[in-house]
Amino acid sequence: MEHEGLTLKQRLAQKNRKLFKTIDVDGDAVELRRPSHKERLAAMKLSESAGEIDASNKPTTAEGGLRFVARCVATVMYDPTSKLRLYDPAESADVETIMGAPWFEDVMKDAQLAFKGSLKEDIEEARGNS
């Protein structure tokens, strides 16, 4: 058994991100996985630092909005075999690759839904506004 000798904390740390959905990208299966809140916030901070979105998470320009969505795609897109993320939202080359990909528009909606998860509801609950 692969979990022998591991504490519960260690086993929990090794869990894969929850599968949101498996999609077909031009004949290749790709998994969209829900990121952790830490990963979501990191992608949002990257976009804010790059001037793509403002402090209210609103796009500063049409291009900025698309770049933010490309970071969302990079954050949630995983290889179904290895369970590893395909792109790095912190790598400008990966964001550029996604922006120029012919399938970008096809995956935008599902990727944004996977990225968002329950973030808004969780923030409202943490603020005590639920």
pTM of the entire predicted model = 0.82
CA nearest neighbour of 42 among 85, 6, 3, 72:
72
User: What percentage of residues in the chain have a pLDDT greater than 90?
Assistant: 77
User: Concatenated DSSP letters for 73-93?
Assistant: HHHHEE-TTT--BSS-TT-HH
> CATH top-level class for 16-127?
alpha beta
Give the model's pLDDT for residue 61: 97
Alpha carbons 29 and 13: distance in angstroms, whole number: 26
CA nearest neighbour of 119 among 51, 57, 41:
41
**Domain range annotation of the chain:** 16-127
| pLDDT tens by residue, 44-54 | 999 999 999 99
